[in-house]
Structure 1
Amino acid sequence: MAAKNQTRNKIGTWVGFIFILVWCLLPVVWIMSLSLKGPGETAAGSAQFLPKSPTLQNYRDILGIGTVTPGQENTHADFLDALRNSFGIAAIATFLAVIFATLAAYAIARLDFKGKRLVLSLALAIAMFPVVALVGPLFDLWRTLGLFNTWPGLIIPYMSFTLPLAIWTLSAFFREIPWEMEQAAQVDGATSWQAFRKVIVPLAAPGVFTAAILTFFFAWNEFVLAISLTSTTASRTVPAQLSFFVGPDPFNPPYGLLAAASVVVTVPIIIIVLLFQRKIVAGLTSGAVKG
């Protein structure tokens, strides 16, 4: 009887696992299939899952490889500019946010000062604040200061929303590091800064890496600020640029191009998650288990 129950449990586990796997991967497979369809199949509104005549023309159009479809001559230039903007803005925002968050989280975890809980509460409130509510004021302010349609005009608000999450993640890591290790380094002649840089930060590397990944993901995928605070491809990121992909008329959007661009944009994120999934899980679960 016990053997039968164990077998049923295994079967149920595998059925549930397969169901969740299909549920999660089905949209990804659909987008990849759509990216391989030509304009004839997508314009006809075909509900066929797999393409009848698979083609890489959509990828050639957005990347500017080989012969480009007539009417899409500027698509690859705009997409590559947006891709460069996304990489640059996300990288800079991640670098600055992680530096400031590391220093702030260390102070919150190690130092006793008045208002420490208030700082954490404000950080959490900022992280939960709706982005849409800030678009109007930021639009007017950025135009006055000359930051509209510039990289700093996106990096600054991105940091405003990623810093609180990074501070919360890193403060949990710093609390787990024994205080005696830093004191031992100072006894050996290291200054407070040297002990922090050479002892504390290396031990908190999983948390620092997790904060960097989460910050990069936010900056990479953000749409509302990117579409509202830019007007040209000089600083427009990929999520915003995709909304400017138009077809021959408003009733025939270039679904194939949009799907191909989505695949290209998603590939770096998938690679990062697959390569560093252990560090990401370690960073997110830090502080969940005590003892």
Structure 2
Amino acid sequence: MSSSVQQRTTGGPDDGRTGGRAGADQLTEQERAGMAAQAKAKRRTTIGWWVITLVVLVWCLFPVASILATSFKTPGDLSNGQFLPSQWSTINYEEILVGDSRELFLTALWNSVGISVIATAIAVVLATLCAYAIARLDFPGKKLVLTVSLMVSMFPVISLVTPLFNMWRTIGLYDTWPGLIIPYLSLTLPISIWTLAAFFQQIPWELEQAAQVDGATPLQAFRKVIVPLALPGVFTTAIIAFFIAWNDFVYGISLTSTEAARPVPAALAFFTGASQFESPTGAISAAAIIVTIPVVLLVMLFQKQIVAGLTSGAVKG
């Protein structure tokens, strides 16, 4: 009798193990449910970001696709309201490359290439020297230099056109390459200085000191040590500066009056159809596609270098 009482009091020998196993199984099921919920939430978040990315891509690329389709339309297809041309034709490209608009377009294309390359080269050289001084030298007001450079870039371009127009007409820079290169420097220098200053701050100061200890002058240390290490940032800055100068329209249309210095974005406004009743939309679209090709090629060929240059200088500002 005492043994039965003891058995009822303490329970069977396997009760504790069975209860512990059941608790462990129950905890495992809860963990599995939590992990499944987390995976489901993560999957929903990923799908949501993909949807947002797709919407943004469609929003950005639809105008480009529309211009591309329009560039292959015949004059009769421009007013039918269809997105794709009923008959694909290269007549618009022939018009601007070998037709009546050839001289206008090719001259403007040469102006854009020359002005953009020169403005980019000057901006990169000046920005490299200025950014190096800001990053390496300790002088009063160096933060003010960065602030002022950014403030200059904040001024709306259209607000500067009238003073520049009057000034350029007075000193003889109107409708000339220098008359566009100088304003382009005001657009490209601020972002170039800011980008390169952040990049130079990532280069260890000890490397330059070691070169000077070995007998190099400050200029030699800068040219042989700092500049090679800063090439990714310099290259990225050059690409950005070129894009800014290449895509400008306001200065190009306001500070030129002939084909002598008019760049492509401004020249598109002077395209005409075969008659006064014909719209030059197809020729303008074809010219816009041709002008976009260099930018797209640069981004595709040097995408890794551009991203590396931007991210390298973004760690410390």
1:269 alignment partner in structure 2? 295
TM-superposed deviation, 1:264: 0.2
**Structure 2 counterparts to residues 14-29 of structure 1, below 5 A:** 14-29=50-65
Of 140, 146, 151, 2:166 maps to: 140
2:182 aligns to what SS in structure 1? helix
Which residue identity is paired with 2:314?
Answer: A
Whether the aligned pair in 1 keeps the contact of 2:196 and 2:313 (CA below 8 Å) is: no
TM-score by length of 1: 0.91
Q: Give me the identity figure in percent.
A: 61
> Is structure 2 residue 183 aligned with structure 1 residue 171?
no
Whether the aligned pair in 1 keeps the contact of 2:174 and 2:256 (CA below 8 Å) is: yes
Q: Distance in 2 between matches of 1:159 and 1:216?
A: 11
Which residue identity is paired with 1:122?
Answer: V
1:268 aligns to what SS in structure 2? helix
Q: Deviations over 1:44-87 (max 9, x none)?
A: x22211100000010011011xxx4xxxx2x1111000000000
Q: Distance in 2 between matches of 1:14 and 1:105?
A: 38
Which residue identity is paired with 2:56?
Answer: I
Q: Distance in 1 between matches of 2:197 and 2:241?
A: 16
TM-superposed deviation, 1:289: 3.2
Of 50, 62, 68, 2:96 maps to: 62
Q: Distance in 1 between matches of 2:145 and 2:55?
A: 43
How many pairs are equivalent? 280
Of 20, 27, 30, 2:66 maps to: 30
2:195 aligns to what SS in structure 1? helix
**Structure 2 counterparts to residues 255-266 of structure 1, below 5 A:** 255-266=281-292
1:53 alignment partner in structure 2? 87
1:114–1:10 CA distance, 2 compared to 1 (3 A): closer
Q: Distance in 2 between matches of 1:266 and 1:78?
A: 17
Gaps in structure 1 of 5+ consecutive residues:
none
Which segment drifts farther, 221-230 or 79-88?
A: 221-230
Which segment drifts farther, 111-120 or 265-274?
A: 111-120
2:106 alignment partner in structure 1? 80
Q: Distance in 2 between matches of 1:111 and 1:280?
A: 27
Which residue identity is paired with 1:39?
Answer: P
Q: Deviations over 1:159-190 (max 9, x none)?
A: 12211110000000111100000011111221
Q: Distance in 1 between matches of 2:185 and 2:139?
A: 24
1:137–1:21 CA distance, 2 compared to 1 (3 A): closer
* The structure with more radius of gyration: 2
RMSD: 1.7
Of 224, 229, 239, 2:250 maps to: 224
1:280 alignment partner in structure 2? 306
Gaps in structure 2 of 5+ consecutive residues:
1-35
TM-superposed deviation, 1:14: 3.7
1:51–1:100 CA distance, 2 compared to 1 (3 A): same
1:60–1:248 CA distance, 2 compared to 1 (3 A): closer
2:271 alignment partner in structure 1? 245
Which residue identity is paired with 2:59?
Answer: W
1:81 aligns to what SS in structure 2? helix
Q: Distance in 2 between matches of 1:289 and 1:167?
A: 16
**Structure 2 counterparts to residues 120-159 of structure 1, below 5 A:** 120-159=146-185
TM-score by length of 2: 0.84
TM-superposed deviation, 1:22: 2.3
2:145 alignment partner in structure 1? 119
2:201 aligns to what SS in structure 1? helix
